[in-house]
Structure 1
Amino acid sequence: MVLSNFDKSACIRCGKNSIVTDSDTGEHFCTKCGYVISEIVEDSGPEWRSFSKDGGADPTRTGVPTSLTRHDKGLSTIISPVNRDSSGKPLSSAMKTTVERLRTWDSRSQSHSSADRNLRQALSELSKLKDKLTISASVVEKAAYIYRKALDKGLVRGRSISALLAASLYAACRNAETPRTIKDVSDASNVRRKDIAKCYRLLFHELELKMPVVNPIQCIARISSNLQMSEKTKRYAIKILQEAQDNHESSGKDPMGLAATALYLACVQNGVSITQRDLAEAAGVTEVTIRNRYKGLKSQQSV
């Protein structure tokens, strides 16, 4: 505990000039009578905090962290168009000419190639898709990485930027096991599902992507929340899917279809009234899929 003098005024209880500050707890109190004047102290230090490589404190101010979601990765510099110095005073006429020349060369030194313009447009669309699909920043970073790899290999040439970007985002969701279907990405990006699937297959083969198998249990929460199902029904559906995975009944089948079928089977066995059409619309599958998967899950339930 580090104590320091806080105020030279007398304590309002005992009248002694013995008020100190505890820097650990932030309390202002009197050392004579123990009266606590305040429990919160404002931090007067800098609003940033950084550390050097050897573990010691580094007082230098750090900038915005680099990110693949920015076309220049956040490393470019821009000279302000305002002709004022750091203190706010106007620049002299000679300095204005020098700064204007620096602005010109700074603008010319930045890349304006077709690949750079392509990347600017793609990453701008990616930031919009992030809000529409409500996905995490890590998934967006992965999508930007996949699109950059495709751009380096020349896969963008002759293809739609929006379609390839949507395919990259779908691949990133699959890689991060985020439950987003091609239809979700298609509706958000306004690109045909067929075009996204075609670009996804291209990325999968050309970039040699390794995709994990989607666990249908992760899709249950999404479907049940759309239909406002009870927690009991969800838990029963998860139990059904776990048994199906143990019996290898779910191998090679659409995870959304399996999740919808497990919820339907749980509703049937718990006496919850729901139609196959409602489940199919919430899961983005057909009623035929639910009926076909229902036979397999029902048979392994009786085993």
Structure 2
Amino acid sequence: MKQLRTACSACKSEEVITDHESGEIICSNCGLVISDNIQDRDNWWMSLGTRGSDLEANGVLPISLARHDKGLSTTIGRPNKDASGHVLDSDMRSRMERLRRWDFRIKASNSHDGNLKDAFAQLDSLKDKLQLPETVVEKTAYIYRKAQTRGLVRGRTISAVLDAALYIACRELGIPKSLKEIAGANNVKHKTLAKSYRLLIVELDVKIPTVDPTKCIIKVSNKVNLEERTKRRAIVLMSQLISMEVTAGKDPMGMAAAVLYISCMNSGEKRTQSDIARAAGITEMTLRNRCRSIKDLEPDSVPISIVRKGHQTNHTIFRA
């Protein structure tokens, strides 16, 4: 994490923090998320002593794994003059045109590059749809290249393997993205994506960390526009459940939705079960089951109406 010179719109403070894992720029004074889609720059750009906009204007791009050629290939243009500035005659121009045409054909006939072109074109589209930071894109490209080297893409669709690599990258970097969300963004069946994900886990021997339910709370609460006090109560309740090992083996999104619903009822903020369940990507039955399991642990601290939908009978606040 590093500091950037950006002013906060709420408190006008210039002390902000950039979190490259979540892709967010946060005000260190009031905690406001200024931006949730940062664009990282490679360090070698700065060593050139030239601004990035000047480099892009001159056709120089940074090295990136998310490009099929890593940004290192060259293309033969259509020159009218030689290196000395003399105009080429018709015979020399025809030779250069023939070289340019064969250069294009050789590159197009490479199936390896063609596969990477299609995959990274889809990855660039997913980056905009899911608002992914540059670190996730680079990690996804790295995993996909490993899968292609092992021959795991052969016989499978590029979309399924790419989405599986993207989900692994999100899990490793702590970005709360679900399989259903990624599958819907790239029009891939959930079953096909889950199968490709299990294949990459086994073949690449990847160790997937567990999802932090606290980040799921932030994601769901932002979708339903909950107040800050409700978020804080949900985070306190979730930390207690994690310490009691209640969340072990449970879907993080389901637990986050249940904790948020309980916090809404405790704080008096009106949100229906269908609203929270839809934002979390779960069913209302799952939400009620998770709420019931929490109520069984602390029956005096959780409102009874979480079990009996529509019958609000108690509003006690969970003990901090």
Q: Structure 1 residues 151 and 49 mapped into 2: Cα distance closer, same or farther (>3 Å)?
A: closer
Q: Do 1:70 and 1:123's aligned partners in 2 also have CA atoms closer than 8 Å?
A: yes
Q: Do 1:175 and 1:212's aligned partners in 2 also have CA atoms closer than 8 Å?
A: yes
Equivalent position of 2:193 in the other structure: 196
> Is residue 71 of structure 1 aligned with residue 68 of structure 2?
yes
- The 5-angstrom pairing of residues 53-64 of structure 1 reads 63-64=60-61
Equivalent position of 1:225 in the other structure: 222
Q: Do 2:78 and 2:96's aligned partners in 1 also have CA atoms closer than 8 Å?
A: no
> Is residue 125 of structure 1 aligned with residue 144 of structure 2?
no
Equivalent position of 2:93 in the other structure: 96
Letter in 2 for 1:268: M
- Deviation, structure 1 residue 257: 0.5
State the Cα deviation string for residues 196-216 of structure 1 (Å, max 9, x = none): 001000011110111111101
- The 5-angstrom pairing of residues 139-288 of structure 1 reads 139-288=136-285
* Structure 2: runs of 5 or more not aligned: 1-44, 50-57, 302-318
SS at 2:181 equivalent: helix
RMSD: 2.5
Aligned equivalents of 1:62 and 1:297: distance in 2? 58
TM-score (norm 2): 0.71
Equivalent position of 1:107 in the other structure: 104
Identity %: 48
Aligned equivalents of 1:258 and 1:241: distance in 2? 8
Aligned equivalents of 1:249 and 1:257: distance in 2? 12
State the Cα deviation string for residues 118-165 of structure 1 (Å, max 9, x = none): 221111111111111110111011111111111111111111111111
Q: Structure 1 residues 100 and 289 mapped into 2: Cα distance closer, same or farther (>3 Å)?
A: same
Q: Structure 1 residues 224 and 83 mapped into 2: Cα distance closer, same or farther (>3 Å)?
A: same
Aligned equivalents of 1:239 and 1:141: distance in 2? 34
Aligned equivalents of 1:89 and 1:299: distance in 2? 86
- Deviation, structure 1 residue 109: 5.2
Equivalent position of 1:136 in the other structure: 133
Aligned equivalents of 2:220 and 2:192: distance in 1? 26
- Deviation, structure 1 residue 88: 7.7
Aligned equivalents of 1:225 and 1:89: distance in 2? 63
Aligned equivalents of 1:87 and 1:239: distance in 2? 72
Q: Do 1:257 and 1:285's aligned partners in 2 also have CA atoms closer than 8 Å?
A: yes
Aligned equivalents of 1:197 and 1:69: distance in 2? 23
State the Cα deviation string for residues 77-127 of structure 1 (Å, max 9, x = none): 101124245798743335424533542453355373322222211111111
Question: Which 10-residue stretch deviates more, 200-209 or 266-275?
Answer: 266-275
Q: Do 1:265 and 1:298's aligned partners in 2 also have CA atoms closer than 8 Å?
A: no
Q: Structure 1 residues 49 and 298 mapped into 2: Cα distance closer, same or farther (>3 Å)?
A: closer
TM-score (norm 1): 0.75
Aligned equivalents of 1:300 and 1:142: distance in 2? 40
Aligned equivalents of 1:287 and 1:87: distance in 2? 74
Q: Structure 1 residues 278 and 51 mapped into 2: Cα distance closer, same or farther (>3 Å)?
A: closer
Letter in 1 for 2:226: M
- Deviation, structure 1 residue 255: 0.6
SS at 1:272 equivalent: coil
Aligned equivalents of 1:50 and 1:133: distance in 2? 31
Equivalent position of 1:18 in the other structure: none
Q: Do 1:182 and 1:196's aligned partners in 2 also have CA atoms closer than 8 Å?
A: yes
- Deviation, structure 1 residue 254: 0.6
- Equivalenced residue count is 248
Question: Which 10-residue stretch deviates more, 213-222 or 293-302?
Answer: 293-302
State the Cα deviation string for residues 15-37 of structure 1 (Å, max 9, x = none): xxxxxxxxxxxxxxxxxxxxxxx
Q: Do 2:213 and 2:255's aligned partners in 1 also have CA atoms closer than 8 Å?
A: yes
More contact order relative to length (CA 8 Å, sep ≥ 6): 2
Choose 1 or 2 for highest CA Rg.
Answer: 1
